[in-house]
Amino acid sequence: MQNIQSQRSQSRYAKGYVLYNKPYMEEKNSDITTEQLKEKLISVANSRSRSDYAMLFSYFAPKILAFGHQRLSTQGLAMDLVQETMTAVWTKAHLFDADKGAVTTWIFTIMRNRCFDMLRKVQHNREDTVSDDIWPIFETAEHVEPEDHMLTNKLMKHVDELPPLQQQIVRGIYLQELSQQELASKLNVPLGTVKSRLRLGLVKLRSILEKHHD
């Protein structure tokens, strides 16, 4: 038993996704303070820090998975819950309002709400998302909707300026929402090619955008 335990904790480190912040991760998870979690999330919000996100991911994903297993019973649904919750943490980090509560409370709220809606969908075939009406998520109010359309339009214009091969990949991933693997088989190119074209395309897009914002 002792032996199995130690193998388990070793495999935690053997996984790629926890290696970003090694000295940090060698502490026991529960030693991470609320303050540190907040710093990580704010760094994701402000600078899209991948390493800090990866750290938050490795910290929270297994716990969300455990919660999902308890509530949703099946592995697939529990994984969906991890995906939906952690996607919101990545895409909405900037909406987190530290004055209104702790990071754990924010993430828990997202997780509980998504889980509630998923259960309704599975058990009663309901497609609505009532949970955010029932438990409001504390977020900073943003009024950027009109700008968002403009941004989308502007972005689309710039996507048109990309070389055709990169354009194809960027459109496939972001507009058709295909996975990289799906796109690779669809276009009959190796996955690595998809990855590198996507990377090139995004770098190019960024430089176009920067030029236009100056």
Partner 1 sequence: MINYHPNDDMLLEHAKGSLSLAMTTALSAHCELCSICQEKLTTMTQQHAHIALIEEDAAADELETSIDLDDMLNSIMLLTPSSTSERLSQSAIVTVKGHEYQLPKAFRQQVRETWNGLGKISRMRLETDSGDARASLLHIDAGGEIPEHTHQGTELTLLLAGHFEDEFNRYGPGDFILLDSDHQHTPKTEDGCLCYTVVDAPLRFTKGISKLLNPIGELIY
Stretch that binds partner 1, among 133-141, 160-168, 186-194, 206-214 (CB under 8 A): 133-141
Q: Is 144 in the site for partner 1 (CB under 8 A)?
A: yes
Binding partner 1 (rule: CB under 8 A), the pick from 6, 73, 74, 87 is 87
CB nearer to partner 1: give 77 or 198: 198
Other Cβ atoms less than 10 A from the Cβ of 109: the count is: 19
Alpha-carbon gap, residue 24 to 39, rounded angstroms: 13
Other Cβ atoms less than 10 A from the Cβ of 21: the count is: 14
Binding partner 1 (rule: CB under 8 A), the pick from 15, 22, 211, 213 is 15
Q: Is 185 in the site for partner 1 (CB under 8 A)?
A: no
Q: Is 54 in the site for partner 1 (CB under 8 A)?
A: yes
Alpha-carbon gap, residue 205 to 209, rounded angstroms: 6
The interface mask with partner 1, positions 93-132, x = CB under 8 A, is xxx-----xx-xx-xxx-xxx-xx---x--xx---x-xxx
- Closest separation in Å from C-beta 172 to partner 1: 12
| Distances 162 to 37, 59, 98, 140, 202 between C-alpha atoms, Å | 38, 37, 39, 35, 9
Binding partner 1 (rule: CB under 8 A), the pick from 26, 73, 122, 142 is 142
Q: Is 189 in the site for partner 1 (CB under 8 A)?
A: no
Q: For tokens 């750290």, what's the residue?
A: 55
3-class DSSP assignment, residue 139: strand
Applying the rule CB under 8 A, the residues between 147 and 176 that interact with partner 1 are: 147-148, 151, 173-174
Number of chain residues interacting with partner 1 (CB under 8 A) = 75
Rg over alpha carbons for the chain, rounded to the nearest Å, is 20
Q: Whole-angstrom distance between the N-terminal and C-terminal Cα of the chain?
A: 61
